[in-house]
Every structure is written in C-alpha cells, then in structure tokens.
C-alpha cells in the first residue's frame, strides 16, 4: 500500500524541481519563491501527494540537524570527510553536530541523549565500532533516525555505508611498481587488526601474484600509519642484506617517515628505492620528492554519505541498505622510477 | 555579600581535594569513594558552604556537556586544539559537542538552539567572529553559559581567552636568522587582514629593528598560509635581482611550498637560502630538510581553555576576565644555517 502512494519524488519530477525544494516549499514556504511554491503545490495536488502529517509534525520539532559521530576528533584524517559532509549538508540546508565517540564508548547513553536533545534527523558514523545501544536505536525501525556509515568498519547488520576501494588501491600500487620493472617489492603495513591494513594488503598480494612476483616475508614491515612507523621501517630496510628496490607504504605518513629517515642515511628516493604512499594528503605533492600515492576520495566519501542520508530523511521511508564504494586513484609523482637493475 | 559566602574552593581547600571532587561528591555522590564523600561533607558543613540549590537544580538538568564552536571543521589546524579540549574535559568527566560555525554565521539562532537543546554548561569558541546574538547570550550575566575564546580574535568585550604569543614567535624567527649572520631577511606573510599576520609581522619587524636590519618591502611576499602561497612566493623570490639569504614563512605550509618549489628550480635549502616556518605541524620534523620553526602549543591551548571553562562552571560565579598567553618555542632543525656570505 505504502509503495503505491505518491512520493515526494513524484511531486519533484512533475514540478521539475529537486525533492529538497519540494520539501522546503511544503514545510517552509517562506523560503522559496512564490512561483516555485505554486508549481510545487499544483504538482502535489495533481499527484495526490499527501504530506504525512504525523511525520511532518515530528519533523517540524526537529532542528534540521544531523549528528556526526567521529572516533577521534583530534585526527586530521577525519577533517576532509567532515568538510565533505558539511558541503553536502549546506546545499540541503541541514546542519551538523559533531560528537567525539571516544567518550561515548564509555557512555553510549550520552550519545543517545544528544540525539534526543538535538532531535537529530539522522546520523553519520565515521566510527564502525559503535556500541550496540546506539546501533539498536538506529535500527529500531520506523521513526528511528537513519544512520549511514562512512567508514570501513561498517558493523554487521543492515546498515548503509560509503567507503573507498582499499583493495583496489593496494593492487594499483603494486601494478605501478611492477610496471616499472621492480621485482622485489616491500610493504609497510598498518596495524594487523586493522581493516585498512587487511584490504590494502590483500589487494597488494593479489597483484603480486598476478605479476608472478614472490613476496618475501622479510620485506613486510609492520607499522601503524604514523611518521615514526615509517622511520622505523627505514631502519629495518637499511639492515637488510637484500633490499627490495621498491616499497609500498600503506599511508602517506609512513612514506614520509620512510623517505626522510632514508635521506638522513644518504639513501635517495627514487634513485635507490621507489616509494608509493596511500592517501594523497595535501603535503604529498610538495614533499621532496613529490610522492606517488593513491588518492583517497575523502571529501567525496563525506559528500556521498551526507547525500545518502539526506535522501533517506527526505523520502522518509525505510530504504534498502545501500553500499557505495568509491574508487581510489593512482597519482604518479617523483618518488617512483624505473628499476635500474 | 556574595563574596563573603563560603565558596566551593574553600571546601576543597579544607577537604584537601580538588573543586572537581567537591562538585562530584555533592552532585553525584555515588561517583566518589565513601571516605572522600565524608571528608567533603564534613568540610562543607564546617565552612558553612551551601550548594546554591536553584543553580544546582539547573545544573542537574544539564548534560555535563560543553559546546565547542569551530569556524571550519575541515581545517586540520583545529584538530589538535580540539584534542586538547577533549583531553581536559575527559579528566573532568565533561563531554563536548562540536559545531561548525560557518553555517551559524548565517544563522546564529541555530547555535542558540543547540546551546538550549543540549543544555550546555559552557562554550569554547575557536571562532572570534561570532555574531552578536551569540555573544550577548554568553555575556548576559548570571545563569548564562560561560564562554572562553581559544583563538586570536577575541571580540571586544569582557571575554576570557587563551592564545599563543604570536608576536614573540615572529621575533624569535628573526633573532634566530640574524644570529646566524643573515642580513637580508624576507618574509612570507598571511592575509593582510589576519590578526596572526599582524602579530607575527609586528614581532618580526621589531626584532629586525633591534638587530639594526633594514626590511626591504620587495622582500615581503603576501600569502594565505597555504602550500600554494609558499610556491608562489618561491617564484617571486626566484625573479628577484637581490635575493634575501633567509626567509621567515608565517606558516609551515607556506615554508613547505616555498622549499618544494625552490627544489624544483634547483635552489637548495638551507645551502642557498635559510627558511623558518611557523606552527611545527607533525610533518615539519620529517620534511627534507627538516624544518626550523616555531612550535605552537595547540594542544595546550585547548587544554587551558577547557580548564578555564571548567573552573568557571564549577565555581559557578561570574569570574573576572582571564587572559592566558602561551609561549611558542623555536625548534631549530636543518632548514636554517649560518650565512655563507
């Protein structure tokens, strides 16, 4: 029955405007031009669209805000995703409140209080390890605020998510180095229990196999994505009898630490060893040498998650679980060159 | 009259505990050890301290949260300050909600709604250009949530603030270069209307005068703190007939852009020109060469602001306006060396 009732999308199509405009024309008529308002009202009448009054009233009590849950607000990793969310929300006239969930891990009740207090229309989680108490609110069916995960750790269950294709990123790094003639390729990984480490390593190992290259376990340096981990890997690399001629670093930070520590030991990148990073943070193009790396679509991840959430809010249905996987891009710069033999 | 009434600080002193503990012992007795509770209660009785019941009731309705207003959450500049705030708040069992005020500039009403909805105990503003509507709430006297500014742009009026000593930072940069024998020193500044630009330039010019050095206006490159601005300044530097032998960049990002663009043009830092940055962001110690710079106490700024706010909340009085100025520190690394003549 519900599926046959005219939807806001039908009104938008007939009126030739966005669903956001329909929503505004009906809920805050003073914010749209009179001609638009009239077109929308005519279309609503023609389609037989009825604003769900109880939902509308509920919505009217809300603040037009969504809550973003971030695992660690001190980590600049999340800044660009937040900027993307903010950009997309601004377009739809929705605002955001950001909550650091490090504290919330201890007190899920608190996050629930915030959701309640701010009458949030929805949630975007950059933190895949949310406590069940929060997840159960978000999945409690009609009336519950929709939740979108913009991270790799989407918890088991029926949640929509947006993430980057890390597996493919790992494969692209290796194919690039193999294409340059490198036959022994090392790898600096993230923490062992990290899903990013897992996906990037899986893609890399698959690509190595496809190139018929053997991966020497001595050429795997375990890190934690930090500058210091890269520097430690450089020390380990320096002590090897047989050094790989290229190294895939699973983060730009580790690549910088690696290159910098090698430079202090008079080993030059890319002349002595080629290096690929992962992330393409801003400084990558200005490092010396400029870093070949995989560009993560962070801002796009934020924007996609926000648009998915807006769609869930505006259609006001319980939509099917959606998963958007965004591609990473190989950016070739000065830190890699052809194997010299 | 109010000033003669015993205060929470009197109870804390007598009980030999912090005001935070007194506050907890009285408002959430279950969260402190029984012996502490008894000591505090005895001290409260002895001093004649009375919990202001109406204030206490008001407090009890609050969520134990503060709101942090950030001008642009997509800018990693603020991440470390937020991390500092978070650290200090955690210690006091207070939580934070972060609001991006870019949107709020258009709608101060929204920020007020958040403050109301979350029943915030106080505000930390990293944004000095808050609209009057918000400032007037914060300065509306007793019962108003206290506000602390953790930024350089504290608005006129009676507001407490925490900031870094940018003027002294500018002076330290110049003294360091002059001490290395450099006589012609250039400068890449931030935007002209920016208070950081103003303070850092003022300190630099004062130090130049103290060293009896003349500043050539052709050696001033106008930037905006970004990587690209540094690269543009490098192009301008390359076109000078008489090049300064040292350049003070008013941000690390501009220093990286400057050094990187020079490297692309076969000009070496520090052999051909010495460079000082400002900020000491994480990558500075791993740049090639490692960057001599002024370390900003960002995390400390956040922690100080949070502690100041906690104190204002817990003493529950209208405290005097406080200003804390934190020192910056010169970190000497590889990007500067003695003038070779």
Report the complex ipTM. 0.75
* pLDDT per residue as tens digits for the range A323-341: 999 999 999 999 999 998 7
Domain check: are A175 and A245 in the same one?
yes
pLDDT at residue A151, as a whole number: 83
The CA distance from B30 to A127, in Å, is 31
For residue A322, report the phi and psi dihedrals to the nearest 5 degrees.
Answer: -115, 145
Domain check: are A41 and A132 in the same one?
no
Residues of B in contact with A94 (CB under 8 A): none
The CA distance from B341 to B330, in Å, is 24
Query: Of the ranges A25-29, A317-321, B6-10, which is most confident?
Result: B6-10
Residues of B in contact with A285 (CB under 8 A): 227
pLDDT at residue B265, as a whole number: 97
B11 contact A CB<8A: no
Distance of CA A24 to the CA centre of its chain: 29
The CA distance from A119 to B119, in Å, is 13
The answer to whether residue A14 sits within a structural domain is: yes
Give CA torsion, residues B296, B300, B305, B307, to 10 deg: -170
**Which has more confidence, A193 or B28?**
A193
**Which has more confidence, B5 or A194?**
A194
Domain check: are B91 and B171 in the same one?
no
**Which has more confidence, A113 or B301?**
B301
- pLDDT band for position A15 (50/70/90)? confident
Mean pLDDT of A35-55: 66
- pLDDT band for position A56 (50/70/90)? very low
**Which has more confidence, A76 or B310?**
B310
CATH code for the domain in which residue B183 is found: 3.40.50.2300
The answer to whether residue B2 sits within a structural domain is: no
Residues of A in contact with B79 (CB under 8 A): 73-76, 79
Domain check: are A185 and A247 in the same one?
yes
**Which has more confidence, B104 or A311?**
A311
The answer to whether residue B138 sits within a structural domain is: yes
Q: What pLDDT tens digit does each residue of chain B (341 aa) get?
A: 334 567 788 888 888 888 888 877 766 666 777 788 778 777 876 776 655 433 433 344 445 678 898 887 777 778 889 989 988 988 887 888 888 877 555 466 667 766 766 667 888 999 777 767 677 666 655 566 788 999 877 776 678 899 999 999 999 999 999 999 999 999 999 999 888 999 999 999 999 999 999 999 999 999 999 999 999 999 999 999 999 999 999 999 999 999 999 999 999 999 999 999 999 988 999 999 999 999 999 999 999 999 999 888 877 666 678 899 999 999 999 999 999 87
- Let me know: does B208 contact B175? Beta carbons within 8 Å: no
- pLDDT band for position A23 (50/70/90)? confident
Q: Is the pLDDT of residue A4 over 80?
A: no
Residues of A in contact with B84 (CB under 8 A): 74
User: Residues 317 to 336 of A: which have CB under 8 A from any B CB?
Assistant: none
Query: Of the ranges A76-90, A195-209, B18-32, B103-117, which is most confident?
Result: A195-209
What pTM did the predictor assign?
0.77
pLDDT at residue A293, as a whole number: 98
- Let me know: does B79 contact B279? Beta carbons within 8 Å: no
Report CA-CA distances (Å) from A204 to A229, A241, A337, B23, B177: 19, 23, 19, 55, 47
Domain span at residue B322 reads: 63-164+298-326
Domain check: are A113 and A185 in the same one?
no
The CA distance from A194 to A153, in Å, is 9
* Cβ–Cβ below 8 Å for B95 and A118: no
pLDDT at residue B251, as a whole number: 95
Tell me the shortest Cα–Cα distance from B208 to chain A, in angstroms. Answer: 30
- Let me know: does B114 contact B121? Beta carbons within 8 Å: no
> Out of A42-51, A230-239, B90-99, which region has the weakest mean confidence (pLDDT)?
A42-51
Q: Is the pLDDT of residue A58 over 60?
A: no
pLDDT at residue B48, as a whole number: 67
The answer to whether residue B337 sits within a structural domain is: no
Domain check: are A138 and A285 in the same one?
no
The answer to whether residue A275 sits within a structural domain is: yes
pLDDT at residue B221, as a whole number: 98
Domain check: are A33 and A98 in the same one?
no
Nearest C-alpha neighbor of B255 from the set B221, B281, B291: B291
Q: Is the pLDDT of residue A211 over 90?
A: yes
**Which has more confidence, A126 or B76?**
A126
User: Residues 40 to 99 of A: which have CB under 8 A from any B CB?
Assistant: 63, 65, 72-76, 79-80, 82-84, 86, 90, 95-99
Give CA torsion, residues B130, B136, B141, B143, to 10 deg: -80
Domain check: are B126 and B26 in the same one?
no
- How many domains are contained in chain A? 3
Domain check: are B285 and B202 in the same one?
yes
- pLDDT band for position A51 (50/70/90)? low
The answer to whether residue B340 sits within a structural domain is: no
> Out of A11-20, A140-149, A158-167, B45-54, which region has the weakest mean confidence (pLDDT)?
B45-54
Tell me the shortest Cα–Cα distance from B79 to chain A, in angstroms. Answer: 4
Domain check: are B154 and B190 in the same one?
no
Domain check: are B171 and B158 in the same one?
no
> Out of A16-20, A263-267, B323-327, which region has the weakest mean confidence (pLDDT)?
A16-20
The answer to whether residue B58 sits within a structural domain is: no
For residue B294, report the phi and psi dihedrals to the nearest 5 degrees.
Answer: -100, 120
The answer to whether residue B336 sits within a structural domain is: no
The CA distance from A81 to A67, in Å, is 14
Domain check: are B185 and B224 in the same one?
yes
pLDDT at residue A314, as a whole number: 77
Tell me the shortest Cα–Cα distance from B341 to chain A, in angstroms. Answer: 26
Neighbours of B1 (CB within 10 A): 4
Say which of A96, A118, A227 has its CB closest to residue B282: A227
Q: Rg of chain B's alpha carbons, rounded to an integer?
A: 24
The CA distance from B22 to B27, in Å, is 8
**Which has more confidence, A286 or A48?**
A286
- Let me know: does A287 contact A263? Beta carbons within 8 Å: no
């Amino acid at each position: 029955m519900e599926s046959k009732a005219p939807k806001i999308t039908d009104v938008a199509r007939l009126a030739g405007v966005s669903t956001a405009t329909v929503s505004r024309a009906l809920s805050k008529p003073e914010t749209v031009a009179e001609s638009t308002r009239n077109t929308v009202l005519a279309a609503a009448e023609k389609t037989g669209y009825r604003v769900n009054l109880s939902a509308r009233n509920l919505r009217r009590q809300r603040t037009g805000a969504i809550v973003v849950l971030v695992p660690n607000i001190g980590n600049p990793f999340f800044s660009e995703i937040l900027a993307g969310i903010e950009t997309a929300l601004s377009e739809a006239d929705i605002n955001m409140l950001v909550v650091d969930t490090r504290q919330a891990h201890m007190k899920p009740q608190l996050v629930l209080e915030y959701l309640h207090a701010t009458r949030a229309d929805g949630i975007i989680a950059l933190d895949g390890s949310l406590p069940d108490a929060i997840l159960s609110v978000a999945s409690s069916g009609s009336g519950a605020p929709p939740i979108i995960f913009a991270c790799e750790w989407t918890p088991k269950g029926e949640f929509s998510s947006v993430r980057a294709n890390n597996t493919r990123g790992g494969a692209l790094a290796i194919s690039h180095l193999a294409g340059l003639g490198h036959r022994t390729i090392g790898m600096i990984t993230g923490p062992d229990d990290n899903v990013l480490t897992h996906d990037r390593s899986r893609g890399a190992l698959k690509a190595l196999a496809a190139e018929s290259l053997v991966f020497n376990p001595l050429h795997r340096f375990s890190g934690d994505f930090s500058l210091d981990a890269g520097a430690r890997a450089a020390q380990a690399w320096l002590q090897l009898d047989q050094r790989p001629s290229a190294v895939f670093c699973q983060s730009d930070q580790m690549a910088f630490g690696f290159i910098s520590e090698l430079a202090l030991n008079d080993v030059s990148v890319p002349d002595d060893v080629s290096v690929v990073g992962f992330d393409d943070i801003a400084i990558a193009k200005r490092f010396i040498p400029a870093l070949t790396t995989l560009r993560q679509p962070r801002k796009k991840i934020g924007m996609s998650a926000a648009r998915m959430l807006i769609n869930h809010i505006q259609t006001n249905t319980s939509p099917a679980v959606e998963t958007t996987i965004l591609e990473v891009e190989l950016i070739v710069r000065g830190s890699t060159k052809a194997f010299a033999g």
